[in-house]
Structure 1
Amino acid sequence: MTVPAKKPRPRRTFSAFGDVRRMPSEYEVVTHAQNWTTRSNRLAAFEQNPSSPANLWFLTYRENSPLKAEDWEQFRDPDALTYRAYVSMQAEAEAKTGGVLDEYAQAEADRTLSPGQLALLGAMFTPSRYLVHGCQQIEAYIGYMAPTSYITNAAGFAAADFLRRVTLTAYRTKELQLAHPGSGIGEAERRVWETDESWQPARRAIEKALIAYDWGEAFTALNLVLAPTLDDVLIRQFREVCRDNGDQLSWLLASFLQADNARRNRWSAALVSFCVGQQASSADALRRWIRRWTPIADDAASGLGRLLENRPERGRDAGEVVAGARAAREAFHARVFEGLR
């Protein structure tokens, strides 16, 4: 007597996730395996012409990167952000920012700025949009080159955060230009960015990061070294100096940007933990890149520190600025590598 073969048990979940026996979340459904540039999703094109410039680029700077993992699709953004959630969250943030801008504009607060504070805004804040635009470009490259759409999406949202920051800076530049015609604000930013001695280390840093083609090094340079260092100067310490000099609007706006930076730090730390957990050799690559980019970041902080020291009436010692930025970065690294030594 022939025993009939058992029928395969029907899956109760999406096959792309394997035999996990659970319903994936909305975040996983809309994010999983969506990166068309990974080899599994472009296999036919890769096999037909593996030596094409595009395929060689991905092979060299992603597949052969020292930053490795056994299964990239297992990474998860701690905030589990989807496009819908991100847009809703930032719409609320923009409504709050817009309300504050309108309130201070009606009070003509910009006309009450002290000469030193106005000089700081023109020398440090309004030219910063060039630096932040560079950060946006690097973050977009990280997302494009990422080996999984879970990283691509997180980096994409971080790039959008940088664009939001550029837009806010441009908006404030125009407001300050209207309130203080003849001050140079709104006209001199490119010259300041390209020629001011205090900005040149930061400009060199961002231009070098733009040619860090290995996606793992680009991620390390920006998300683990340059951004944590320079955000401490351009956001935290700048905000505190603005408060000390009576510029409450700049203090508030810089405070609002902290949430975007903290979210980028969360998924960046999670990615480090994931990579090292899956491939121990990734820790050596990460630490090597951190050592390479740390002096570059410190030089950039030193240059910007001179602006905080010399422009406002109540400034901050440039050496203290560098020490504070270094301490912030090292505290972040301590959290990132906690338990991974």
Structure 2
Amino acid sequence: MSRVLVLNCGSSSVKYRLYDGEQTLDHGTIERVGEPGGDAGDHGTAVRRILARLDLAGLAAVGHRVVHGGRRFSAPALVDDAVLAAIEDLVPLAPLHNPANLAGIRVARAALPDVPQVAVFDTAFHHTLPEAAATYAIDLATARRYGIRRYGFHGTSHGYVSRRTAELLGRPYAELNAITLHLGNGASACAVAGGRSVATSMGMSPLEGLVMGTRSGDLDPAVVFHLRREGGLTVDQIDDLLNHRSGLLGLTGVNDMREVLARRAAGDPAATLAFDVYCRRITGYVGAYYALLGRVDAVTFTAGVGERAAPVRAAALAGLDRLGIRIDPGRNEGTGDRVVSPDGAEVAVCVITTDEELEIARETRAVVSGR
């Protein structure tokens, strides 16, 4: 049961990692899938290319990241025809991601018919959300008919990081209250109480919540109506605007926080504003989740921006001293998994390197060994 291949088919890339136990044997990424001049014409071609180059002798299972599991999947699932059909039914809730996930599963099933395939869902970790956290205040019959509710995303990362935080602090996971901040090109916050997600910033889709690389995050819904009525934009144009031309990109012309920080340091007012908007949104969620949890043991930053951008961590938590949340400037500039709050701080501030592929491998192995 030691060898597991993890496939992560994103909207325009395919990441893969081959494990023996928890040791990585091979890994890589095929970029710009389906784009002009890209490395592969479609996700199926990309996955076939990966399978052809790997030594898959003794492979126990393939674990697939699937973005949206809806209300159907509260845990990883061994893939059969019924599971595949259910994932297909959820495409309207994740039109950019579930089709790519499905393509990877189908190719792997065809190429490796005797190897179990396991779907690991981004949404599954958030199935513990209370109904008051998952329910939007719209007509209930309409919401039920169209599946409108908060599902949450980045669950694999939030689960891994919250457990790793407990390990780092030497605390029982079942007793830890933590706020985890996954800050990458996509970004989300999560309140975790004793290993259970009780609040998260992404909603029915990954558009809601924090400011992201190209996504707006929280927005007055009337903006959509205004753009349609006054601007004459189509639904697809508005979708493209909010998902692909907003966030840091919309405010500065670049979606890379490293470039935003460099421009801010050089005195660029647009970059300074974008940084402030980005960090202020995080501050608001930390404060809100502190109130919901009642007691917070740790605030943990992860993913590309969360792990590497010390100025973001400092600014996002500035002014929260009265909540017991402080950062030590020297520790904040370090590297690796660590505590960056001062000794004796009431709330530990941590930086953890997320490892979604390892978490998928662990969950895949557990499903296959327990079937």
Give the TM-score normalised by structure 2: 0.27
- TM-score, normalised on structure 1? 0.28
Between Structure 1 and Structure 2, the one with more helix by share is: 1
